[in-house]
Amino acid sequence: MPIYEFKCNSCGHNFDLIESLQEHDKHKEKCPKCKSKDIERVLGTVSVQTSKKS
C-alpha cells in the first residue's frame, strides 16, 4: 500500500498515512494531532529497486 505524506495547515504537523487507493480516493484524511481536515498532500521521494545493475 502507498504511503502518503501530509501537512496540516492548522497546526503545522507533518504526518504519513498508509492507505489503499480506495481509502485515499474517499478523502477522509485528517490530522492525527489536532483532527483538522485542513491538510495538504506533500510530494515525497520515491525509491525504486531493480534487479539489473545500472
Structural domain span for residue 28: 3-42
Q: How many domains does the chain have?
A: 1
Residue 19 lies in a domain: yes
Q: Is residue 35 part of a domain?
A: yes
Query: Over the stretch 20-52, which tens digit does the pLDDT of each residue have?
Result: 888 878 878 899 999 999 999 998 777 677 887
d(C-alpha 34, C-alpha 40), whole Å: 14
Banded pLDDT at 54 (limits 50, 70, 90): low
Is pLDDT at 7 greater than 80 in this prediction?
yes
Residue 33 lies in a domain: yes
CATH number of the domain bearing residue 36: 2.20.28
CB-based contacts of 36, cutoff 8 Å, min separation 6? 8, 9, 10, 11, 30
Strand intervals (E) in the chain: 3-8, 14-18, 39-42
